[in-house]
Amino acid sequence: MNPWILAIRPRTLPAAIGPLLVGNILALQLEQFSLVIACISMLCAVLLQIAVNLANDYFDFKSGVDTEERLGPLRVTQSGLLSPAKVRNAMILSLVLAFLVGLLLINHGGWPIALLAAAAIFGALGYSGGPYPLASHGLGEVAAFVFFGLVAVVGSYYLQAGATSTSAWLLGSAIGFLNAAIMLVNNTRDMKTDIKAGKKTLAIRIGLGQARLFYQAFVFLPFAVIIAGFLLGFLPGLPVLLAGLSLVFARKLNNEFSHTSGAELNPLLGQTAKLTMIFSTLFSIGWVFV
């Protein structure tokens, strides 16, 4: 496989695409809805996700986190497929492209979008790099919840509507939990090697048993959130019902996670990202037909 495909990790991209899909679909029926802005916002999110993946590859190699004992998918820097300089330059290029695309969104959405864009870029760099890497201090899941949940859904809705809504905050929370679950799978798989590297991820801080309980909460809470939104009158029934169908897949993933560890968690990483996309797509289809 082309090393650049390995580097950008396509299986993680649903974490960026799903919330932007939902945020824009929530605004679909607004008079001022713009398909161009929807597409630009999705492109910006994908570029940021690619930048994060490249940053993880580069910074984890430079800090010594990635070694030959790594259990996760192949890292191109650690394996020697690509030089650190090439990966670093690709990361910078992805961030620059995201910034340039983001300028169009800032021009459309004003200073609140500028603040979100700045936070997203710092988050991309600070996840595994900088003086206080979020991933090394148990904040990776929090970052995923905030940036790939709340910021992505509420921010993309705000771009279209010029305001936020309760439905956007609810869906941002729901998808944020699903994307936090992706991060938790990654960190649970790497517990042994992360301990050696001095990382203190959430999985290390709470232990394997509690990590399994957290995963269960992360994949089931989204359904509680949207059901509560329906019962309180903030969300219509059809999208909630359709999104609820993905609960079957969530139960399957939870059962697998409950008795799996180490390298055997690798397939579950992509499947959890797939859950985010399935949930987002089903909800979006339901919203279109409301």
Q: What is the mean pLDDT of the chain?
A: 89
Closest CA to 287 of 28, 97, 99, 16: 28
Q: Report the pLDDT value the prediction gives residue 257, as an integer from 0 to 100.
A: 93
Q: Report the pLDDT value the prediction gives residue 128, as an integer from 0 to 100.
A: 72
Contact predicate 194/187, CB 8 Å: yes
Q: Report the pLDDT value the prediction gives residue 67, as an integer from 0 to 100.
A: 52
What is the rounded distance in angstroms from the CA atom of residue 238 to the CA atom of residue 223?
14
Structure tokens at 149: 């949940």
Structure tokens at 152: 């992505």
Q: Report the pLDDT value the prediction gives residue 166, as an integer from 0 to 100.
A: 97
Q: Report the pLDDT value the prediction gives residue 61, as an integer from 0 to 100.
A: 75
Low-confidence residues of the chain: pLDDT under 70: 1, 63-75, 129-131
CA dist 83 to 30, 64, 76, 90, 261, Å?
47, 15, 8, 11, 30
What is the rounded distance in angstroms from the CA atom of residue 278 to the CA atom of residue 91?
28
Residue 14: phi and psi, rounded to 5, are -55, -25
What is the rounded distance in angstroms from the CA atom of residue 224 to the CA atom of residue 221?
5
pLDDT single digits (tens) 82-104: 888 998 999 999 999 999 999 99
